[in-house]
């Protein structure tokens, strides 16, 4: 692949962004499902569920997300606020999505209910660990994960201790452990970014400039091809390096290119020549 100058690469990325950041491409991404809800609170919960399950192929992700949200009824936010493990956990009994079971999803609902009850909203719970002076969202994400996993789990694990291999941990990887945190960064992109037809921009107190790119296999591969990174292993270091490069093209909104780069992979589109 030909080496592009900084100006050529910016032109390419901007063209891709303007081409793909339109509602016509929503159906190729799990974010299409939260878009079906009108109330911001419902979009927030639907987005967290969709992002949590965003591993595997697109059709499988869509099926599992729709199945999970069907259990929650017309208002996922109301379902979470009223969630009672004794009565509602069994509703997810038949749910399976690759590595995760209905127990994991029910416990996720239980944790989300506690977080919202404690802080007033999921955004407020996240903001307890957010410092706008930090270089990026990493420390806030680490804090969010630690606090979520420290909430009460006794209805599911009577000892009150979360096992090291509990499936719920898959929903809450941490930058402190080197994970790329693709799905949590995806959720944050959906909540924080604004200005196009893709992301929701509901969390207005978090700056888009602090976001880290949601690094999946498509974005990692294409980023290496575009020489946005030299790191081979998709991890937090790679996500930060790719974001650092993207920030040189748009310091205020570096992850705006993520949706477009991911479309190239999902839709099996070649990278345009310079």
Segment 233-266, tens digit of pLDDT: 999 999 999 999 999 999 999 999 999 999 999 9
Cα–Cα distance between 218 and 134 in angstroms, integer? Answer: 28
Give yes or no for a contact between 107 and 160, defined as CB atoms under 8 angstroms apart. Answer: no
Instruction: Please report the pLDDT score of residue 2 as a whole number.
Output: 65
Q: Which whole number is the average pLDDT over 13-34?
A: 95
0.85 exceeded by pTM: yes
Segment 65-109, tens digit of pLDDT: 999 999 999 999 999 999 999 999 999 999 999 999 999 999 999
Segment 46-66, tens digit of pLDDT: 999 999 999 988 899 999 999
Residue 139 neighbours by CB under 8 Å, 6+ apart: 129, 131
Give the pLDDT band of residue 31 (cuts 50, 70, 90). Answer: very high
Show the beta-strand stretches assigned E in the chain: 96-97, 100-101
Cα–Cα distance between 91 and 84 in angstroms, integer? Answer: 11
Give the pLDDT band of residue 274 (cuts 50, 70, 90). Answer: low
Cα–Cα distance between 246 and 4 in angstroms, integer? Answer: 14
Cα–Cα distance between 211 and 209 in angstroms, integer? Answer: 6
Please choose, from the candidates 31, 19, 2, the residue with its C-alpha nearest in 3D space to the C-alpha of residue 261. 19
Q: How far out from the chain centre does Cα 161 lie?
A: 26
Given a cut of 90, whether residue 273 has pLDDT beyond it is: no
Q: To the nearest whole percent, how much of the chain has pLDDT over 90?
A: 95
Give the pLDDT band of residue 213 (cuts 50, 70, 90). Answer: very high
Question: Phi/psi at 137 (nearest 5 deg)?
Answer: -80, -5
């Amino acid at each position: 692949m030909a080496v592009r100058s900084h100006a050529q690469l910016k032109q390419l990325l901007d063209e891709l962004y303007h081409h793909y950041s339109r509602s016509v491409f929503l159906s190729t991404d799990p974010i299409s499902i939260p878009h079906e809800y009108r109330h911001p609170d419902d979009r927030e919960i639907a987005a967290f569920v969709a992002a949590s399950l965003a591993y595997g192929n697109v059709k499988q992700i869509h099926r599992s997300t729709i199945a999970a949200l069907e259990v929650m009824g017309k208002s996922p936010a109301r379902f979470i606020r009223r969630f009672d493990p004794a009565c509602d956990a069994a509703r997810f009994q038949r749910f399976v999505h690759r590595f995760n079971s209905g127990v994991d999803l029910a416990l996720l609902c239980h944790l989300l209910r506690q977080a919202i009850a404690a802080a007033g909203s999921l955004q407020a719970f996240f903001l307890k660990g957010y410092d706008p002076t930090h270089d990026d969202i990493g420390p806030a994400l680490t804090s969010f994960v630690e606090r979520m996993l420290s909430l009460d789990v006794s209805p599911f694990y009577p000892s009150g201790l979360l096992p090291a291999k509990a499936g719920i941990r898959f929903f809450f990887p941490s930058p402190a452990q080197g994970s790329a945190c693709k799905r949590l960064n995806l959720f944050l992109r959906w909540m924080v970014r604004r200005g196009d037809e893709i992301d929701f921009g509901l969390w207005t107190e978090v700056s888009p400039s602090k976001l880290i790119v949601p690094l999946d296999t498509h974005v990692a591969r294409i980023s290496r091809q575009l020489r946005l990174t030299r790191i081979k292993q998709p991890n937090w270091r790679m996500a930060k390096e790719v974001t650092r490069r993207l920030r040189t093209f748009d310091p205020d909104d570096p992850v705006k290119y993520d949706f477009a780069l991911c479309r190239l992979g999902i839709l099996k589109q070649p990278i345009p020549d310079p």
